[in-house]
Structures are given as structure tokens and as C-alpha cells.
Amino acid sequence: MARKMALILFLSVFLNIIPCYAEETSKERTNDTPGTAIFVMAVPMEVQVEEQSNMQNEEKWHVQIQYPAISGLKDKKAEKKINAILKKHGTDLQKKLVKEAKHDSSKNKYELISQYTIKETKSPYFVISFFDYQYKGGAHGLSTYKYVTLDLQTNRILTLDQLFKDEANYKDKLQGLILKQIEKRADAKTLLNDEIYGNLKIQDDQNFYITPHGDLVLVFNLNEVAPYTSGTMEFSISEKDLH
């Protein structure tokens, strides 16, 4: 009987040790493995996201839109304004597509699919990524990405110039850093020419997001700076290069 009780006691202690050991091992692996620790502050706990949707299927067009409605900000007036902007992203695309479809005499059925994801970022930022696909006839449709970066300290949507408010020539600096990256890419000899990258300009409404490590990523959609076949182009600028 004593031996049986000792065995039960041993198993009880052993089984309690295993989860603790596994948890510590997991923590150690997370810290040692590049990229895994970025999920710690991925989504600030005070922000909640509720998915909203809008669908419309007519003879000449099909629309399927998902967009986020956020809550949890202390500034409710700012929260309402941000949600209106997030909703407007899809409705503006829908209005334009429906208008074009109505004036198209062909048998093409127009299509709009707009979806979103919450992208991993660095506190105090909150990044929403919109993926939009539109088809208006022809061989293929057009896919674009739009990033919305919120600053949760100021409760506002960030624009690129707000990140460089003390630097008047930040556009030239960013453009120079991007061109250096292009030169290092494997296809630089075929792509680096005036006809393609001569149009590379940093815009006031430049598409961008911030990574969990604080790097700035500038995003150029199809046909903005390179041919359709080059796809969406992203250029990551490290935090140290920004200072």
C-alpha cells in the first residue's frame, strides 16, 4: 500500500512538472527564434475589432466587402471618425465600380472583393491591411493593398509626414534608400532604368506600415513604379536608417 501511495505521489509531482518545463522551454524557444517574439504586442488589448460586411450581387456587378469597426479607444469622437474612414474605403470603391459597370455596354460582370486583416506591428501602433480585388473585364483583374496605421497614443490615423515632422527632406532620403535596395536586387540590371523606376516618387499619401521591429515598409501597388508582372513592391527601411 505504501509503495502504491508513493507511486501516485511521484506521478502527481511528475505530471505537474512537465507543463511547467514545457512552458519554460516554449519561452526559451520564443526568445531564441527570430520572428516569434513579435506576437507579444501584436494587438493592444484595449482595441477590439468587429467585422462588418456588405454584399451586393446584381446582373452587371458583384460586390463583397468586409471592413473592421474598432472599439476601446478612450477618445470616442476619434473612434467614430476612424470607423467612418475604415467603412468609406470599401464604399468608395463600390460606388466607383458600380458607376463604371452601369456605363459599360459589354457583357462583362464587374467584381469587387475587399477584405482586411490586422497586421503585426509595434506598440503603440495598430495596422489594418486592406486587400482589394477588382475585375472590370480583360484578361485579369487588379489587386491592390492599402494600409491604415493608427497611433493609439494620439488616436489618429498616421500619415508618412507625421513620422518625419522634423525632417523637411524625408522624401528624398527615403527615395535614396529605396534606390539603393533596388540596385542590390537580383533583377536590378533588367529593371533599374528610367522607364520603370524613373517614376518612383514618395507621395504625401504614401502607402506604408510599421513592422513589429519598428521598421518602415513603403508599399507600391501594381503598375505604380514597375510593370504588372513585377507585382506589389515593398521596401523595408530599418529603424536605424531612419535616424
* pLDDT tens-place string over residues 73-120: 989 999 999 999 999 999 999 999 999 999 999 999 999 999 999 999
Domain with CATH 3.30.565.40 in the chain: 48-158
Query: What architecture is domain 48-158?
Result: 2-Layer Sandwich (3.30)
Q: What is the pLDDT of residue 231?
A: 75
What residues contact 52, with CB distance under 8 A and at least 6 apart?
66, 67, 68, 69, 87
Q: What fold is seen in the domain 161-242? A: Actin; Chain A, domain 4 (3.90.640)
- Better-scored residue on pLDDT, 224 or 49: 49
- The residue ranking higher by pLDDT, 69 or 186, is 69
Which of 18-32, 132-146, 181-195 holds the top average pLDDT?
A: 132-146
Task: Using pLDDT thresholds of 50, 70 and 90, give the confidence band for residue 37.
Answer: very low
Report the alpha-carbon distance of residue 125 to residue 148 in Å, rounded.
10
Can you give the length of the chain in residues? Answer: 243
At residue 187, what is the residue type?
D
Of 15, 21, 36, which Cα lies nearest the Cα of 213?
36
Distance of alpha carbon 225 from alpha carbon 45, whole angstroms: 37
Q: What is the pLDDT of residue 198?
A: 60
pTM value is 0.75
CATH 3.90.640.20 in the chain is located at 161-242
- % the chain with pLDDT above 70: 73
| Rounded mean pLDDT, 54-83 | 96
Confidence of residue 194 (pLDDT cuts 50, 70, 90): very low
Residue type, 7: L
